[in-house]
Chain A
């Protein structure tokens, strides 16, 4: 029997699916009243239920169910009519009951998608958008944390029982860059929806990646490798790119990919095998008899839908269309929901969107960053910012002076009028005889420049403005100075 030589494919494409665990931000744990939290003394956030003492029973925290329904609504998932619980049975010391309460065949959310934006050709140009389809989102309980010493291991159950969502994407991502964009978008959506703080350092967002390669044009999936311990979004991107390179070099040498789980070390940029998939677990899933199914009716969904914020890319498209903001401004605003909310509050009070955008993105953000504050903590009320914009617009406060006024507004919360008066930052009146006198003096004292202007050299007018400004001690409105000079030069 002859073996036909396999056609050597020109190149491979990567197929990537992500499993993302997001801790839900609730006051108490998912099946008991004890508080959920991070950074407490080990084993202080426990009770008989968390420790799985004999006789303890779980009772569902409705706030956790609210959160996953909200996540599903935000991502366009189909919401199950009934929330049902299953036991996933396996022994491990971080799992107090040696089973995890989870959802097997009836996740709360099915389908849906995450919209992502890939990097554009330049920083000020929008990149390509894609929708990455989701398989499911289900709710489960987090496990405890093990730490291993030389001769013993310690376990902290503070994290055990924290509500956790598992968000599973379809194998629809193609690169580390797409995975990065996916996680960035998903994270922002969860934060903006008030579902999770998604702090990866605190384990509030964790990601495993399934990666396989196949010849371009093939429709079957190759052997997949699961990458674990990707503890920052950059490491996810780098780890995936590393794994794609590793698999490609094996395939190009004619080798075979082993199905396995690998551990990626973001610090060294290397990975090593954790275990092969041959020892597959039988989790013996069955419905948890301790928990009754919970009906999720339409009214429940509608109540939560009303709490859902606009998705950030939808908001960005609206900002571009309705406010004519430059792309770079929209991409600063929409990723920061409080800042974008602030912007819209200012615009609603009548401010010109582009001017408001400039002030918020440049001045407000600078002051916030310096003070280490969130937009919500700013003392500059939207009404006061609008008032400042009006002062600038009318020429009552000049731009340079307005910057000083703003700093004072940020520091004190006072109105721009009060500050401009208090600190003498108002522009000189533009309709006063004083301005006309300064202009006449300037023309008289610079006959050469005046003559050049009159003979058609427009730029010569600038030589006249300096003396006017000097006389006005910098408080003259440049626009008014320009207009007055032109009028006088034309008539005089």
Chain B
């Protein structure tokens, strides 16, 4: 890739880091390019919910000053990075795509935010998403939908649709999303960028607006697998503010990419290639499989027999946790409060009725139901048992293979309003939910386009805490094809 022909806002993070290190570009220039790009495309794309150009420029200047003083903080120093609007940034809005938090300003930084700051990143842009990360198209945002940069009348996927679209459109050099059932990987596939959901516990959730605590993970979007590795390096690691974060030994994820390429054993779970898979998606994924064969990888079919139960299990567990996690939005301490409440119950009922959208209400009601006395054993407890079986399926498969390769999404980007039936929308996550239930790292890597010019991605699912290997396998394909470097005609 020659950076001379690439606009600054479309550089890969690695290229930008090299250019900054060589003094060919300043963080201020990079940041200005990204801000200008956002101003140009936002009226049509609407990936941002808010942005603070003044703060970004100040951070960029501080980065340039640091570098001039010989004190660069590493590859992210001076790189404009945007965040999904579910990740807390001190003194910035934190809406979670909801009317409930429309006017909420976070008084504190999430741990990932703090770590990005410590790595010198320039934080720019709060990305649109489905309300409280519930959805697969970003249409559930209370504020506005976001377009897909490759076809503006189509959705960018979700729930981290804004973060995927913003990156694909050049409004950041990398972004962070969150993934509870596929909310990073599916929009990555639909927007043609790389998206990684790390192992549950690899990245701290402190400061992430909770949807379903046992499934939520923050992860990076990048134009390349290498970029994703560089961002993961900055945000991963144990955090004493999140007791579910893992105390794993530090790893050098970027270095893992440059390790000599070893042919790996890849598994194709037969349950992931059946009915409902779009033929063009199937073809693109097959071509990626062929590429791995040519690299000397052993590819074999495997079975994850509990796959048919994943979706149901997910919607029991995720909604149960959500019903409790979202109880704090009550209009008492912060957030939306209805006008002139008559009494406490009126305040609760109307504040929540006005503050939450339909999908959020649907999931709160579902979750309240599955936890109620008399139903707990039949739903929640049973779903936890199925979850264990799902995880065992994966661990058994990993006795035979190093990673699993599947389509990320059964279909490419669909038209806005096309999936009005919630159940049809839920099927978008059918290939991604398993990795959340099992707590495994999984990544979507772009692998081509449909005839209509819509991006397609494949998913790699790795072993617990196997990010290094997962990134290495993804990089073996991505370094050759670089589909994520293509630029939409915006």
Contacts and interface: CB of A to CB of B under 8 A. Distances in A.
A54 B96 contact: yes
Contacts of A56: 206-207
Interface stretch (A21-29, A93-101, A126-134, A427-435): A93-101
Contacts of A59: 240-243
Interface stretch (B70-78, B100-108, B123-131): B100-108
B282 to A, nearest CB: 36
A163 B210 CA distance: 24
A99 B324 CA distance: 7
Contacts of A48: 107-108
B325 to A, nearest CB: 9
A286 interface: yes
A98 B332 CA distance: 11
Contacts of A97: 327-328
B208 A91 contact: no
A87 B324 contact: yes
Given A51-B333, A98-B330, A286-B320, A91 B244 contact: no
A52 B326 CA distance: 10
B327 A98 contact: yes
Contact of A96 (B88, B242, B243, B333): B333
B214 A96 contact: no
Interface in B307-323: 320-321, 323
Interface stretch (A244-252, A288-296, A447-455): A288-296
A123 B323 CA distance: 58
A53 interface: yes
A289 B213 contact: yes
Nearest to A284: B371
A48 B240 CA distance: 15
Contacts of B333: 51-52, 96
A98 B209 CA distance: 16
A55 B205 CA distance: 7
Interface residues of A, number: 28
Contacts of A91: 327, 330, 348
A99 B329 CA distance: 12
Contacts of A58: 243
Contact of B106 (A55, A57, A99): A55
A3 B316 CA distance: 52
B2 interface: no
A155 B332 contact: yes
A174 interface: no
Contacts of B206: 55-57
Contacts of A286: 320, 324, 371, 376, 380
Nearest to A54: B209
A53 B106 contact: yes
B324 A57 contact: no
Nearest to A52: B328
Interface string B330-351: 1011100000000010001000
Contacts of B380: 286
Interface string A41-76: 000000010011111111110000000000000000
Interface string B373-401: 10010001000000000000000000000
A292 B110 CA distance: 20
A99 B327 contact: yes
B434 to A, nearest CB: 18
A83 B170 CA distance: 49
B94 interface: yes
Given A59-B240, A87-B324, A93-B330, 13 more contacts: A54-B328, A55-B86, A55-B94, A55-B207, A55-B209, A59-B241, A60-B243, A93-B344, A99-B324, A282-B372, A285-B371, A290-B244, A292-B244
Q: Which 10 A-B residue pairs are closest in the complex by CB-CB distance? A: A98-B327, A289-B214, A284-B371, A289-B213, A55-B207, A52-B328, A54-B209, A282-B373, A55-B88, A97-B328
19 contacts: A52-B333, A53-B88, A54-B96, A55-B86, A55-B94, A55-B106, A56-B207, A57-B205, A57-B206, A59-B241, A59-B242, A91-B330, A97-B328, A155-B332, A285-B376, A286-B371, A289-B213, A289-B214, A290-B243
